[in-house]
Each structure stands twice: as structure tokens, then as C-alpha cells.
Structure 1
Amino acid sequence: MSRPSTRTAPAPRSAPHVRPAALRRRLFRLVDRAADLDDVRADVEANHDNNRWWPITIADPRMRMLAAGWSTRVSYNMISTYARVIADADARSFDTLTGMADDELTGLVTPLGLPEARITYLRSLDEFLNGYTAAGVDPQAMPANAFIAAFAAKVRQASYKVAQCAALYARGYHCGIIPVDSGMVAHLAPVLGLPLPSGPIAHEHMRRVLQDAVAARAADYRDLIAAKQHAVTLPDGVAPTWWVHLVLIYFKRRYLNRPHPDVCQRRPVCTTVIGCGHQARRP
């Protein structure tokens, strides 16, 4: 078995015409406005300290990576079904799951749909992690960029967005990773005026841009949480990337997946986002 690489992966090719300072301002204004919305606030507060999709009750990092992968293509109205399946899986343990026959696993994951793909993900994840064990490498200690790149390349039924989620959940909410889903690429990036490369690499490019923007203004975002009086627990000394991720993901889900009539269509030129007056003047 070949030794897993621990080298830092090169940064994805940048999309043209990205000005970091302008993007940082736009992102901060968007988060500032979105965090004021009552429905977004409720979602963030309900999921920040103990996320309903990726709960803190799961201790094994391998099981966390599995849960992150199995959460894909599960609709929001199936969260109770998903939570039940993950709880059942965690009760068995990761090692028990990998020793189960495919027909047993099918019975477990069928409520989530795509059982063959989910079983393939489990088997491939196990093989991927065993490669690091055999090489004496702790994947948790690898640079996040290198681990995400390797995960996306080698774990079947994974991708950059799955790799990002798996890395974040395994390392903890406040590890500095901002996972990017397809809706963020399709709907949030245009709102921010962020051009992206085409293809799956867009998720990785956007992740790095968002993370750099939050890290550059970490103190401002911490002050923003205090000013908004969000009921969340944030460890000392960390950039609030998890909080920003939740604000963005729930704003996207509630206001951008199906374009909300109050969201200004002149973004990013208009910085008000919602309630700017442009909407009232539309014919």
C-alpha cells in the first residue's frame, strides 16, 4: 500500500478579478445583515453548540466522517430520519459497521436513500483511513488543505464538499474550516460578487476565500456575535468560522435557494441585502 501524502496541497487556481479587501467587506456586511434576521438567528442558535446534523454526542472521528458523508442528499425535512439512522450507526460503532455485510448495511441506510452509494462511501472511507494507520500517519494532524484534497481524490462517493464537511466534523466545529455546499456556490457566491472556477474545484476555492476573509477580521466577527447577542458558545482565541458558516448556510437556505422577494437583486452593488428600497421600486 502506498504511503499517504502529508504534503500541503497547492491552492486551487484562482478565479479572475477577486479583490480580497472588497470581498471581505461584502462578506462582513452580508453576515451582519443576515445575522439580524429572526429565522436565521433561530437556526444558528439551534445548531451552533450542538449541530442537529453533526451532533457532539458522536465521539469517534471516523464515525463523524461517516455521518458527514451520509448527510449528503438528505433533505432538511428528513433530519429526524437521518438523526435516527446516525444514532443507530453510532450505537454499533465504526468497526462494527465496517464488519457488517452489505445486506445488513442496506437495511440500516435505506431510509436515507442511495444505499449502494452510502455503503461504498463507508467501505472507501475505511480503506482511506486504514492507509494512514498503516503508514503511521495521524490524518487529524495533517494540514486541513492537504487532508481535504486527499479525501476528495481517494474516497469514493466523496467530493470536495463532502471532504470539507468530513474534515470539519472530525476536527471539531471550531477548527477553522468553512464547508461550502452546492447552493453556496450557485447562489451565495453571486450575491457576494465572487467569481469561481468551473467544476467541483469551485467548492474548494470558495472555502479558502471565505476562511481567509473571516480569519482576517476575526475580532470584528467576534464583536458582531456579541452585538447581535446570539446565544452561542464560542471558545476563546478562535476565529468564529463555524458561526459564520451557519449564518451563511441558513441565510442561503431561507432566502436564496428560492429567491426571496426581499433580497435585493442588485447585489453585490447594493450592500443593504434586504429592505434596501430597490425592491419597492420594481415594476
Structure 2
Amino acid sequence: MVRFYCYIILEYLLYFLFGSPKKKVVRCKTRQIVNSNEVIVHTHEWAGYEFERKKVIKYIEKEFVCGLRFAIKRLTAYTGGFKLRKILTISDNNTDYISKLENSDFFDSSFEIYSVPNIGMDFSGYNYIYRNCLSEDNQYLFLTNTSVNGESQPFIDEYIKILSDNPQLGLLGISYSSKIYQTLVKSNYTPHVQSFFILTTTDVLKEIVHANDGIFPGAEENYKLSIIRFGEAKLSQIANSLGYDIGIVNENGALQILPTINDSSLVDGDYRLYVKEPNRINRIK
């Protein structure tokens, strides 16, 4: 926590003295082709949550139902054309939680389940996948947590097609923020995909981690604000710096690219403050 606040104070002083740093022009890049029919679908959960819970979006008090029950049922119902490797990571795991999960009415024994520390929160789970579950083959990879809206609908094949049809896309999500809130520099334009749902490829993820000196962004942070700043936001920043576009499937069911240069097509701040159903996986239209 101390390191985080020292960083943002220094950042503000540099901004006050020298203004915003100039954005570098990066040559556009396209992803490596995916030939594997196996898709890794990862869900991260904290053992302190109920299987079904209500989440409230701050400032607007929008409430929706989410939780592990919906995440598992969403994948159990899959009937698409890919072979799913379903992985669940659980932080602060314990035997009572596992027993309760295995005896629930929605448990799916085809899930691989791994216990991870809670440092880095979701990024502890994401880091585990990166360190332990990737093969040499380039694969499609979903990184999600259980705060995804419980409203269920088919999405895997549709979202993979969007990524496949747009080879310049490095990260595809369902929500974004156009700025960083974890800073004293209030006038900043830093669009990034929110990390509760990200589709990418394993090769792109390897590039991002390599560009971050071999450290998965956010995995070593233990303070919530620094996890968002140096995990969620940094993932998108590195993807952009490598030459990839980032985007989301918006509430209208359309692909929306998040421009690197300030663009009025994006909302000011957190996209979830402006939509009817926050954190929802939207059908592509």
C-alpha cells in the first residue's frame, strides 16, 4: 500500500512539472494463428463468497446476481464446436469449501480445481494459469471471475469468431474504463478492458508477460487499488504498446475498439455506470 501511494504521488509531481508524457506511435500488429481446437476457460473465485451473491456497482447502486453457480452452469451448458478445458482457481481455499462445492447441485467434475493464494486476487488465479496450464500450442483463453453477471447465454464460439475475424485484437472483454481512477492525475485517458472477463490467446498473453519482465501484471500486488492499476489497466497498456488493439463486445452486441487516442465515442470513466446490465456477457448481433 505504501509503495502504491508513493508511486501516485511521484506520478502527480512529474505530471505537475512536465505534463502528460507523449504517447508513442506503435506499429499495428496481428496475432499468431490459433490451430488448436481446445479452448481454456478459466474462472477464478474467492472461497469467502457464497455460490450465488448480489453485486452492487458503486455510485449508481445498480445490483445484479452473480457467483460461481452461474459461472459453472454457463460452461456445463456449452454445446459449441470447441473442446473446453475448464479450470477453476480458488483463493483462500479450504476443505469445508471444497466439500460444499462438490455436494452442490451445480458441481461439474470435469473442472480442474487449483488452490491459489489471495495475493493479487483474480490475478493470482490468472498468474497460476499462465505459469502452470499453458502448452506450447497457441490457444484461445478466457480469463474470468465470478462477478460476471449471472444472466446466461451462449458466448464462447461467438466471441472466438470475433477474435478470429479481427487478428489485430489482443484483448477482448465485455466492459472497460476510459481512464484510471487510481491516480491523482484526474484528467487522464487510459482506456482498458476490465479484468473480470478477458478473451485472448496464449501467445498474446506470453508476449504481455515477457514485456513485463516475466511478471504477470498484478500478480504480486496485495492492495486492491494497486491490483487494478498495475494489473487490470497494465494488461491493456502493454497490449497496446505491443501494437495490438483492445476492445469489448458492448451492450448493443457490437465490437467496440478502444482507441489509444482520446475519443469521444467512449464514455467518461467506467462503462458499467452507463449500461442497463453491468458485467453482462452480451450476445453478438
Instruction: Specify which structure has the higher proportion of strand.
Output: 2
- Higher RCO (Cα < 8 Å, 6 or more apart): 1
Q: TM-score, normalised by structure 2?
A: 0.29
Instruction: Specify which structure has the higher proportion of helix.
Output: 1
Q: TM-score, normalised by structure 1?
A: 0.29
